Structure 1
Amino acid sequence: MKPDWGKRLEELRTERGWDKKEVSAMLGFTQNVYGQYERQYRTPPLETLMRIADLYGSSLDYIAYGEEKRRRRPVDDLEKLRELLLHFEDEGIEQPFILDLDRWYELEKEDLEELRQRFEEIYQKAVSEKGK
């Protein structure tokens, strides 16, 4: 995440006229914890960041990097992401590499296309093996 992500949290909160205590109550944790996020004394885990982004109608990209326009993500997309996290957890992968945002932003378009092609190859292999 870029160094000023806490300021974006504060900006999103104040735009709505909420104080830290209100946001903390909405998210289910103490005012002190949320305040530490805004001051960047603590970094929220991904699941918490997702909840915060959803609460503010923002994207994770905007909160972490300030580069994407803030937009409302459809609930369906968040549910799909939660399902994906559960799938990784069910398969015994506790910290899915696929959610390491810092690494994803280091990849160029060609790298992403190569990953997409490789994923398709692996998927097709898995499907064909199940059909045997």
Structure 2
Amino acid sequence: MDIKKEIGLRLRAAREKARFSQTSAAKKIGIHNSTLGKYELGEREADNETLLKLANLYGVKVQWVLTGEEQNKEKIVDKIIEHVGEPGDKQREKFTNLFLEELNNLPEEIQKSLYTLIRYIQKK
């Protein structure tokens, strides 16, 4: 099955489980209900900000919407710490520099989306 259709099915399932109509969910996040319908049918791809809004509205994680799998936060943090080291550690400095370099190599549109996502998370 096409990945957009899989994402659409998960969006619809989450919306229905959260007991929203397409119209009410779309209105709450500021999009037209036909746009949400196209996301759910896999005919259109939602941008990162819209996916985040929908996931928050439905009470699910964006990762689940995208992959169908949940990720344990502790495992992610453990993996990062494992590679980062302690403050002042040369390995941590190296990791930070590589991470920033990779971010810098991303297309500007993705960098802006990541920045928006980070700012949104910081406000919570």
TM-score by length of 2: 0.56
Query: What root-mean-square deviation, in Å, do the aligned CA atoms of Structure 1 and Structure 2 show?
Result: 3.2
* Cα offset, 1:12, TM superposition: 0.6
Structure 1 pair 116–63 and aligned structure 2 pair: CA distance change class (3 A): farther
Question: Who is 2:51 aligned against?
Answer: 49
Letter in 1 for 2:51: L
> Is 1:118 paired with 2:118?
no
Percent identity between the two aligned chains: 27
1:38 pairs, out of 37, 40, 55, with 40
* Cα offset, 1:29, TM superposition: 1.1
**Over residues 47-95 of structure 1, what are the superposed CA-to-partner deviations in whole Å (9 max), with x where a residue is unaligned?**
11111111112111100000117xxxxxxxxxxxxxxxxxxxxxxxxxx
Letter in 2 for 1:67: E
Q: Structure 1: which 5+ residue stretches go unaligned?
A: 70-108, 124-132
The aligned runs of 1:21-100 (5 Å cut-off) are: 21-68=23-70
> Contact 2:83 / 2:95 at 8 angstroms: preserved in 1?
no
Question: Who is 2:110 aligned against?
Answer: none
TM-score by length of 1: 0.53
Q: Structure 2: which 5+ residue stretches go unaligned?
A: 72-78, 85-90, 100-124
Give the aligned length: 83
**Over residues 74-120 of structure 1, what are the superposed CA-to-partner deviations in whole Å (9 max), with x where a residue is unaligned?**
xxxxxxxxxxxxxxxxxxxxxxxxxxxxxxxxxxx69x938966333
Instruction: Specify the SS of the correspondent of 1:68.
Output: coil
Which of 1 and 2 has higher RCO (CA within 8 Å, sep 6+)? 2
Letter in 1 for 2:67: Y
